Amino acid sequence: SNFKLKYMYRAKGSNNIDLLQCMREGKVVLIKMKDSDFNTRLQKNILVTYWISKVWLATQLRGAEMEKPSPRTNLIIDELFQAPTSLQMMEYILPQARKFALKPIISTHYIKQLDSIFNALVTSNGSFRLLRGCTENDFNYFKNKLDNYEYEDLRDMKQFHSLDLIYHETGYS
């Protein structure tokens, strides 16, 4: 029922972007989807799942070409919770992403929106940025890793400041 989706399904592949080649060259590829163009959850789910699977396939192909893929590919996804099938895919992708030099960056309004992949994020040594305005529940997810910080420190931060929990070789800092 969506004109743009119908157009995409019928389009010839001759003008497609070669994601693998773009990764090899370290290029930036932006896939922007306006809410007004894809306004149902099903449409968003189809497209986001499609693009994540395309990026993942290109990442795996690049990994098969070289022992240590370079440069690293950043996959930035805003509000992934709107595409539930993609969340399931990311649960599978996250633990393997590092060996293929893929770094997913996922933004959300609160942690509960990523509940289904939260364990995969943590066990994949994900880093986290908590911005002013986070809920106490969000803070409590990380409380055992945030030495010397209380929720009030996060709540009372200045605008545009963040509390970053960064994973590195010896653990979180």
Quick: pLDDT tens for 96-129.
Answer: 999 999 999 999 998 889 999 998 998 888 899 9
Residue 69 in this model has a pLDDT that exceeds 80: yes
Q: What is the mean pLDDT of residues 22-38?
A: 88
Q: At what angle do helices 3-10 and 41-65 cross, to 10 degrees?
A: 30
Residue 14 C-beta-side C-alpha neighbours within 13 Å: 1
Show the tokens assigned to 129: 């940025």
Residue 142 in this model has a pLDDT that exceeds 80: yes
The predicted model scores a pTM of 0.84
Residue 19 in this model has a pLDDT that exceeds 90: yes
pLDDT of residue 1: 67
Q: Which residues contact 113 (CB under 8 A, 6 or more apart)?
A: 79, 80, 81
Show the tokens assigned to 30: 């932006």
